[in-house]
């Protein structure tokens, strides 16, 4: 039976979950995988934390040098988070001849090319299933399950914090700020929630996933990013009234026009499978030319779900002598031949406040028509101040055409305000 020694860098929520799975399931892995996996070392500054999890004191390391010099360690698991220290530790582990498993999506999105180049030189692996969508095996699916397909679409809810916030806003009719505070109290949102609510977390993930799905480097810098901080309970209510729910989506499409990759809140029909993905759950929808449509669903975060993905990588690394490396030019930037779509074509949800006077709607529709935009839904409600609330949904339209229309409409004296512009995804 093959013996495998593992070191874990960091015993926080995810590191603790990983340690628990590796130790609790040790005999199970022997029976089912033919592997005798032992946690040989942990690097954790909080010694009491390590001891409380059952780590023998002799296995608690005080430095990365102590970890990588341990001859019994074959695979290093990095779960400390951040970028600077994590990158330094991962590089040291690779250069010591050890394969690395990480859950650090920011590290991978920013330095995948650099880390993989060193891993290739050393003949070791770099694995990061847990960096995207928690316990959902999306990366393994793309690499080992979708080889027969030219994947043209990858679309999903890949951030649990924002999905929890939008779910609560939808169910309770609450304001964003109110739900955010609740999410922070429950531990779903960080004290500084910027990475989640402004879409950075989802941006890193869709950069990684689209690169693998399309076999082309898609740097995180090319991802168009919008967060959820401007979503109001009025947007939620009008969307619901129109038969939609609002979700923060990570979207990647590959066509003859080029690669379109973006993160933004969007309206989706209640009948869409993604519409029923609530709370902190995640889901990813894929379209392949052979398999057609599939969707993966599960917990996008948490000690054991993310630990599950990490341990999956540990087992994969232990069982495969041939390491997986990106089958494309994995540089810091995209290949010069790769085209990216910047003028997105989609449907739009537009909410306006108007003077309640005859002829205003016809003036608006004329502006949209002049820019080649067809309106498929129009609803007008009076407000309490003698104005009118108008909700429009367009047919497919280019973003540039919508922007031209909004610029013209905003200057009309009858238009009091443009309250919201959101994309609509079928």
Cα separations (Å) of 390 from 244, 383, 399, 419?
A: 16, 10, 20, 10
Query: Is residue 132 classed exposed, middle or buried when 0-12, 13-18 and 19+ CB atoms within 10 A define those classes?
Result: buried
What is the β-pairing status of strands 258-269 and 415-425?
parallel
Neighbours of 229 (CB within 10 A): 16
Query: Is residue 93 classed exposed, middle or buried when 0-12, 13-18 and 19+ CB atoms within 10 A define those classes?
Result: buried
Report the b/e string of 336-373 with b at 16+ CB within 10 A. eebeebeebebbbbbbbbbebeeebbeebeebbeebeb
Residue numbers annotated as active site: 205
Residues in CB range of 410: below 8 A, 6 or more apart: 418
Closest by CA to 88, choosing from 130, 44, 118, is 118
């Amino acid at each position: 039976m093959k013996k495998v020694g593992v070191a874990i860098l960091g015993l926080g929520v995810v590191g603790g979950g990983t340690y628990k799975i590796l130790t609790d399931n040790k005999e199970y892995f022997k029976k089912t995988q033919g592997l005798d996996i032992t946690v040989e070392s942990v690097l954790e500054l909080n010694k009491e934390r390590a001891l409380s999890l059952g780590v023998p004191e002799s296995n608690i390391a005080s430095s990365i040098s102590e970890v990588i010099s341990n001859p019994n360690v074959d695979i290093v698991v990095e779960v400390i988070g951040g970028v600077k220290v994590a990158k330094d530790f991962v590089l040291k582990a690779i250069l010591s001849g050890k394969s690395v498993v990480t859950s650090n999506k920011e590290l991978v999105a920013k330095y995948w090319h650099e880390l993989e180049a060193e891993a290739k030189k050393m003949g070791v692996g770099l694995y990061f299933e847990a960096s995207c969508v928690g316990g959902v095996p999306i990366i393994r699916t793309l690499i080992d399950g979708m080889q027969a397909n030219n994947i043209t679409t990858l679309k999903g809810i890949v951030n649990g914090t924002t999905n929890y916030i939008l779910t609560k806003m939808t169910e309770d009719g609450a304001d964003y700020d109110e739900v955010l505070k609740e999410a922070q109290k429950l531990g779903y949102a960080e004290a500084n929630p910027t990475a989640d609510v402004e879409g950075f977390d989802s941006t890193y993930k869709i950069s990684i996933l689209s690169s693998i799905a399309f076999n082309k480097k898609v740097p995180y810098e090319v991802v168009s990013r919008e967060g959820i901080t401007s979503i109001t309970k009025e947007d939620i209510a009008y969307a619901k009234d129109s038969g939609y729910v609002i979700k923060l989506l990570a979207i990647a499409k590959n066509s003859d026009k080029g690669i379109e990759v973006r993160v933004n809140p969007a309206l989706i029909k209640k009948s869409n499978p993604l519409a029923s993905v609530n709370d902190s759950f995640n889901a990813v929808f894929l379209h392949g030319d052979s398999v057609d449509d599939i969707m993966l669903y599960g917990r996008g975060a948490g000690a054991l779900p993310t630990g599950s993905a990490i341990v999956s990588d540990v087992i994969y690394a232990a069982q495969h002598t041939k390491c997986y490396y990106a089958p494309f030019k994995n540089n810091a930037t995209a290949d010069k031949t790769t085209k990216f779509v910047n003028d997105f074509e989609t449907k739009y949800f537009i909410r306006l406040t108007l003077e309640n006077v005859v002829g205003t709607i016809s003036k608006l529709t004329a502006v949209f028509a002049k820019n080649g935009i067809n309106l498929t839904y129009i609803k007008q409600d009076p407000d309490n101040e003698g104005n009118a609330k108008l909700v429009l949904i367009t047919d497919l339209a280019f973003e540039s055409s919508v922007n031209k229309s909004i610029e013209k409409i905003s200057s009309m004296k009858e238009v009091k305000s443009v309250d919201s512009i959101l994309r609509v995804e079928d």
